[in-house]
Chains A and B, each alone.
Chain A
Amino acid sequence: MPLILQYEYMQRALFVGLLLSVIVACLGTVMVHKRLSLIGDALSHSSLAGVALGLLLGFNPIVGAMAICIVSALSIEAIRKKLGNHSELAVAIVMSTGIGLAGVLSGFVKSSADFNSFLFGSIVAISSFEARLVMILSVIVLLAFVLLYKELFYISFDEQAAAISGVPVGFVNAVFTILTAVTVSIAARTVGALIISSLLVVPVAAAMGIAKSYKTTVLWAIFVSTVSTIGGLVLSFYFGLKPGGTIVLLSVVFFLLFRVIGYLREKHSVKKGA
């Protein structure tokens, strides 16, 4: 057995990392095409307000974070509809509100705990409870993604046409908004906010560089996401690099690589055509 698999924390990191990178790539494909790329950032920052609120009102901060995440995500969805072409502003507005609220609320919190340490996890320190939570979450998200694949495709492509065809747009959007919110809050707690907000976007952006269909976009995004996660963990294990940053940078390398491949391929086909 290779050294890396002899340690339980690494087994857990690899397993949970793999699961999360798959579902986050799926959710990311949906979010990117709805022009909500920064939703991961917005939600993980807003969840700080939930933690502060939890500490202030005396309930579990993690529950607070999850609740605020869901509320923020639904607000983004609601504002997005009102803004039409400027839907990406919804994310910025909710993120600003969340950060502002967290700032003001934390001024009232007289508790002593180090907020960030309780809110943001580390991929090399995952508890068995968190691992189980991620497993359940992954099953739900994957199931929803496969069952609603056709509906999501249609909504991402043209929300109005989808509605005319009878797709329950409101329901599907609500399901995915809530799943994204829950995933971000659990994943931020388990592997950290950096990994989660980046993996929602970068693998999808990379995949769009070379994919030749929507289906392969999803598959390439999953590929980039999982390979970056596993690769990042391996590099961290053998070379002592910080896992979060390494994973994110690897996915960016894939992005650049795939864009170059896409560019060369285009040039090649133009030449052939001429």
Chain B
Amino acid sequence: MKFSLKRFISSVLAVSFTVGTAGLLCSCRRGFGADAEGKVKVVATIFPMYDFAQKIGGDKVAVKMLIPAGTEPHEWEPSTNDMLMLEEADLFVYNGAGMEPWAEDVLGSVKNKDLVALEASKDVTLLKTAEVHDMEDVHDHEEEHDEEEHEHHHHGEYDPHVWLSPKNAEAEMEAIAEALIAIDEANADIYRKNLEDAKKQCEDLDSAFREALKPYEGGHIVVAHEAYGYLCREYGLKQIGIEGVSADQEPDAARMREIIDKVNEYGIKCIFFEELVDPKVAQTIADEAGCKTQALSPLDGLSKEDIDSGRDYFSVMQDNLKALVAAFE
């Protein structure tokens, strides 16, 4: 065979590309590193689960967050590396209530027999999606949303954003503590102590919300998507969601008008948007009704920068409270 320079060059390129890509893939492999040795290995699905597990476990656990910030949890699928991580883990914490519809499938295919799976929301009284809506306001939309939920995410029935009420957060942390104690008896006292601290913080947060929002009981908030059902129920607010329970739907023109009319009718002064989603719809409504916009975090995705800079459940919730109060003032 004749030596072909072209062929030679292309094979060199192909080989180096393959090696380079493989290298890149290896370098970004997520897993429990060496510093996880001797700790309880926890895999948590979304940020609140990650944060709660961290708070209860302290330095006795190594926690990994499965779903990267900004990814829609319903649509996320585990990669092979994620599966490897689960094979290594001791505890898998997921929110449940329909937030991670893929969780059961994934657990079914994990061979790790020692893995404990915990649905953190198991002790929370769940709200049906229909109840999430402000009944008198969005009558004809309920059915529609329910339908869409079934179509898109199969979760439909319950509102999964339980952690947005501090009381529910407390319940979730209790469940996590229970699970950790069962796995790691030796450090039970530490977990109990951490839980006590966290509970105290939850109670403080709860009373701060109750006190600050008391004057605005029965008030309406306009939010990007209807994630605040538990928070509203707890503190006597009513939410008007621009979009349904999931954040990925385009609003229709009639819904926009309905919301604008309501904003004018109730004299609402602020439209809430979520930082991780383009605020264009909130902005359009705000422009139309002449009000301002403000970020309100549903906490399901916290940006990496925020996590790195030490933001946690409590600090974000405090910000949310400030935003809510500012909206009513």
Direct interface between A and B, CB < 8 A: yes
By a beta-carbon cutoff of 8 Å, the part of chain A in contact with chain B is 7-10, 13, 107-108, 110-118, 121-122, 124-128, 192, 233, 236-244
B256 cross-chain contacts in A, Cβ below 8 A: 7, 9, 124-125
User: In the assembled complex, how far is the CB of residue B48 from the closest CB belonging to chain A, in whole angstroms?
Assistant: 15
Write 20 A-B pairs (CB below 8 A) sorted by A numbering. Answer: A7-B260, A9-B287, A10-B257, A110-B68, A112-B302, A112-B305, A113-B276, A121-B280, A122-B251, A124-B250, A124-B253, A124-B281, A124-B284, A125-B280, A125-B283, A127-B283, A237-B257, A240-B255, A243-B252, A243-B253
B303 cross-chain contacts in A, Cβ below 8 A: 111-113
State whether A243 and B250 are in contact (beta carbons under 8 Å apart), knowing that A7-B260, A112-B69, A114-B72 are contacts in the complex: yes
User: In the assembled complex, how far is the CB of residue A81 from the closest CB belonging to chain B, in whole angstroms?
Assistant: 22
B257 cross-chain contacts in A, Cβ below 8 A: 7, 10, 237
Closest-by-CB residue of B relative to A194 is B250
Closest-by-CB residue of A relative to B224 is A117
User: Count of chain B residues with Cβ under 8 Å from any Cβ of A?
Assistant: 34
Q: Is B26 an interface residue (CB 8 A)?
A: no
Q: Is B254 an interface residue (CB 8 A)?
A: yes
User: In the assembled complex, how far is the CB of residue A134 from the closest CB belonging to chain B, in whole angstroms?
Assistant: 14
10 nearest A-B pairs in the assembled complex, by CB-CB distance: A112-B70, A112-B303, A240-B254, A112-B69, A236-B253, A237-B253, A125-B284, A117-B278, A125-B281, A125-B280
Instruction: Let me know if B304 and A108 touch, CB within 8 A.
Output: no
Partner of B277, one of A114, A124, A237: A114
| Complex interface residues of chain B between 241 and 255 (CB less than 8 A to chain A) | 247-248, 250-255
User: In the assembled complex, how far is the CB of residue B297 from the closest CB belonging to chain A, in whole angstroms?
Assistant: 11
Instruction: Let me know if A124 and B252 touch, CB within 8 A.
Output: yes
User: In the assembled complex, how far is the CB of residue A122 from the closest CB belonging to chain B, in whole angstroms?
Assistant: 5
State whether A122 and B250 are in contact (beta carbons under 8 Å apart), knowing that A114-B276, A127-B284 are contacts in the complex: yes
Question: Which of B28, B254, B281, B304 is the most central at the interface, judged by chain A CB atoms within 10 Å of its CB?
Answer: B254
Q: Is B59 an interface residue (CB 8 A)?
A: no
Question: Which of A117, A192, A236 is the most central at the interface, judged by chain B CB atoms within 10 Å of its CB?
Answer: A117
Question: Which of B140, B256, B260, B281 is the most central at the interface, judged by chain A CB atoms within 10 Å of its CB?
Answer: B256
Partner of B253, one of A10, A107, A111, A114: A10
1/0 contact string of B216-246 vs chain A (CB within 8 Å): 0000000000000000000000000000000
B301 cross-chain contacts in A, Cβ below 8 A: 112
Closest-by-CB residue of B relative to A110 is B304
Partner of A242, one of B70, B252, B281, B302: B252
Instruction: Let me know if A242 and B260 touch, CB within 8 A.
Output: no
User: In the assembled complex, how far is the CB of residue B140 from the closest CB belonging to chain A, in whole angstroms?
Assistant: 8
Instruction: Let me know if A236 and B302 touch, CB within 8 A.
Output: no
Q: Is B288 an interface residue (CB 8 A)?
A: yes
CA of A114 to CA of B24 in the docked complex: distance in angstroms?
24
B24 cross-chain contacts in A, Cβ below 8 A: 108
B277 cross-chain contacts in A, Cβ below 8 A: 113-114, 117
User: In the assembled complex, how far is the CB of residue A112 from the closest CB belonging to chain B, in whole angstroms?
Assistant: 3
Partner of A114, one of B70, B283, B302: B70
